[in-house]
Amino acid sequence: MPLRPIYLDCHATTAVDERVLATMLPYFTQNFGNPSSISHIYGWEAEAAVKQTRSILADAINATPEEIVFTSGATEANNLAIKGVAEAYFQKGQHIITVATEHSAVLDPCNYLKTLGFKITILPVEKDGIINLNELEKALRPDTILVSVMAANNEIGVLQPLAEIGKLCRSQEIVFHTDAAQAIGKIPLDVQAMKIDLMSLTAHKVYGPKGIGALYVRRRNPRVQIAPQQHGGGHERGMRSGTLYTPQIVGFGKAVEIALEEQDTESDRLRQLTLLLWKQLSQLPGIHLNGHPTQRLAGNLNISVEKVDGSALLLGLQPVMAVSSGSACSSATTAPSHVLTALGHSEQLAYASVRFGIGRFNTQDEIDSVAEHFISTVQSLRKQTNFL
């Protein structure tokens, strides 16, 4: 048994890659200037570093550096996108469409806007977690101003058809936002080809530091307007005031740069490890794969287990592996995962679910150990309930 559990919760967060940390360190102690201080070399150094990361992120999604707005993370980026569009376009309409399996950082701002009089349509998903494009088209109205659909689901890893959604929204001049926190550096993203108008990003899902994210805001064809939600200083072209956190921004850029360089080989490796884990776990009866079998993130495996108490299962797994039963942002709640109930699962099955987030630093030996302990834990719990 390892001294510490094997970490398999990479959809919650990832360790900072040592290459990222090494890039960040000088900006804490040597190049510590404020990028808004344009009258001396300390500010120039910081400004240049920030500019470089803007270029890295822009290249990663086929945007321009001027379209990258830095935030404290994807949660703030989602809030800025949704509330910012609502305020900027409310005279055009007050109808917003999103999806039942979205992260709470999308659903909660939408629910807040509902209290202000906005009309919110929350689309269901199919049993595999993917939206029905025909249902989305039917939901569009003359007063629809925004559609928000995440790129990759944080719990079940499902990839939504962004290009098709973008084409549909563009044809009706509706702003299209996607939460791509789990997708950046893992799957190809192209805001031009996919006709995406707003995209939320974060660093800590891709081996970068916590506390830094970004919002892509389209500047042309068409130009998208968002009302700032944080005022004071006019930073980030007036969209998000606040002194830029240069070390975190530098780390964000380096993390994405590494992820893009290694994307193809790492995706293949993660896919093989995920298939290996599923092959072993699926030998147990009463095991369900949650989400589309192939249209998902390479390192994601989310399963539900019949005839097992969810709390007892997680407790039994803890000595060997660090996994979760849902989103890290809602793990303190006692309600079952809203994502899994949206797939049609009963509360019992939703509670007895485990999300494996396999990452850069996991090995095949670790996967074998995890599978062995998982199987033995389930078998033990089932014997206690006389389930064979």
Query: Which residues does the annotation mark as catalytic?
Result: 329
Phi, psi dihedrals of residue 215, rounded to the nearest 5°:
-125, 120
Query: Which residue type occupies 347?
Result: E
Instruction: Please enumerate, as own/partner, the contacts of 306-309 that have beta carbons within 8 Å and a separation of 24 or more.
Output: 306/349, 306/352, 306/387, 307/382, 307/385, 307/387, 308/352, 308/378, 308/381, 308/382, 308/385, 309/351, 309/352, 309/381
d(CA 195, CA 233) in angstroms, rounded, equals 31
Residues 234, 238, 241: CA angle, nearest 5 degrees: 55
- Exposed, middle or buried: residue 293 (CB in 10 Å: 0-12, 13-18, 19+)? exposed
Tell me, what amino acid is at 113? L
